[in-house]
Structure 1
Amino acid sequence: MSKWHLPPDWRNYDGLTAYEREKRATIPYQQQNQLDQGNAAYKGRTEFDVLKDNHRFIREDEDPQNVTYEERLARAYESKLFKEYALIDLKHYKSRHIALRWRTAEEVIDSIGETTCASLRCPYHKPTQDQLARLERRGIAMPPLQAFELPFAYVEAGEKKQALVKVKVCDKCARKISYKPSNDRRSNEAHTEQGQSVPSSNSGRSSRRKREEHGARRSESPRRR
């Protein structure tokens, strides 16, 4: 049976008052508290919160000398990302608001966003086996992909930035990236936002035609005696 031993600097309690013994016994807790205070910015927050506040899409300073614990954590995460091709979210493409992120190591190994569509909401982003089987029966391995180099403007840490980012998408998602509303559609949307209806020339002609047909039917109907 092994015997438990106190650390050497703890063994001699002779000659110490009760207060001094209590003070020595609390040293490990004080040391732990100092470590917690050193990471006070991180304390009480999740790792996701730290990454969200400190992540940078593109870092300009690669080798900073003095960085905080949170910045080191964010840089460690960023070092695992691959920045050759990005993935894109086109949910709000009509308002020209898109989101981009870099690929992870797992996505690079699976060729996601390089041999598949980079749009996160596209069925050909991570195609199922059934989809691949249907394409194979048609003699198509995957839909043809188009490469874009997008001028991506974004705000990071209160600062406006811009970068060129490469994405590869299918034809359907390529049309979303190139989407531009027509002038007529813009004017209609502006009138709708102001609460005004936008009459069209076709609707005016159809209403006049209905009135003329109604008058002709009344003239042809026999009078009652």
Structure 2
Amino acid sequence: MRAYILCGGLGTRLREVTKGRQKAMVDVNGEPFLLLLLRQLKAAGIEHAVLCAGYRADQLETMLADLSQGAELPLDLVIEPHPLGTGGALLNALQQHPVDAPYLVLNADTYLTHDAFRLRSDGVDSVIVGVEAVDRARFGSLRVADDGHVLELLEKGETGPGLVNAGVYCFTPAAMAGEQPRPCSMELDLLPALIARGELRAAPYAGSFVDIGTPEALAAFKASSDRSAQQ
């Protein structure tokens, strides 16, 4: 199974930490965050990964061989010609690396254990990983029917407990068929189209879920990783 990893973000909230570096390459106790993520993909049985890059793609290009060797996972790099958004970056990569089987898509700034990446489609519906959160404010959340199909994606800002979008998807080959690369959003354009067709269902996940998008969250993840390494 192939995974497409969205690495093109500007990392605006982390600028005081990254200082112009690629967000996915931020150091976590001596290793790039992206390498930790790639190892989880490898453990989940992913056989090939495509890095969908934009901002500071040169840093990924320089480290591509080291990342591949460190994770023991074949990697390819696709660089968008201009900012395309999360949806456009995927469509651009799919044009260069077409699919004929279900495939995984994930964000490069969120850490989940390999269980989340064992996500599989039944060939009819695409699947989105949902995580129960105590407070949904920082995340987009999901409204789900009793049969598991997603009815609506809610924007960030909803408060209180609920199911949030973990940023991991398994799409069928037909999900994006016919879509041409263009600037667009995964959450605002591509996923709502699947929901409207009744082709997106949620898969619950109860493992580790860390979004490193803020300095505080990154610092907490580093501390947690350091404690785990010492045990």
TM-score (norm 1): 0.19
TM-score (norm 2): 0.19
Structure with the bigger percentage of strand:
2
Ranked by relative contact order (alpha carbons within 8 Å, sequence separation 6 or more), the top structure is 2
